Structure 1
Amino acid sequence: MDSKSREEEKRHMMDSRMPEDYEHPEPDEEQPEARNPPSHLHRILPIVIVLVLVAGLIFHYLGRT
């Protein structure tokens, strides 16, 4: 069990709430994920899935004629 002083707990909470600074990386800058900001694939993927489903439905109903 860790016992931390109030100051240590406060510093830990402040460090964990701060967003990552990509221009001034911490000592783990050798890791590729620390050097590059995250990609926006997680935003594009749901849009692509919906478009594929809609296209599939359109081809399914247009193919019945």
Structure 2
Amino acid sequence: MLYVALAFFAAGVLSIVAIFGIRLIADRDPAGWLYLVAMGATPFGFVLAFAYVLFSGRRAR
């Protein structure tokens, strides 16, 4: 589950970098799907990683 969370988070961060990179290099608007990936994958990966940390931790005795 951690690797899936990291993949989603990395995809979201890479899409954010691509959005800014396209704006700087090409001076045009990025594709709409980049915005959707940035808005969806980044928080979903973060929440999945947080859930993994909560569920994989040690139980208190």
| TM-score class, shorter | 0.3 to 0.5
Q: TM-score, normalised by structure 1?
A: 0.38
TM-score by length of structure 2 reads 0.40
Computing the radius of gyration from Cα coordinates, the structure with the larger value is 1
Flag the structure with more relative contact order, 1 or 2, with Cα contacts below 8 A and sequence separation at least 6: 2
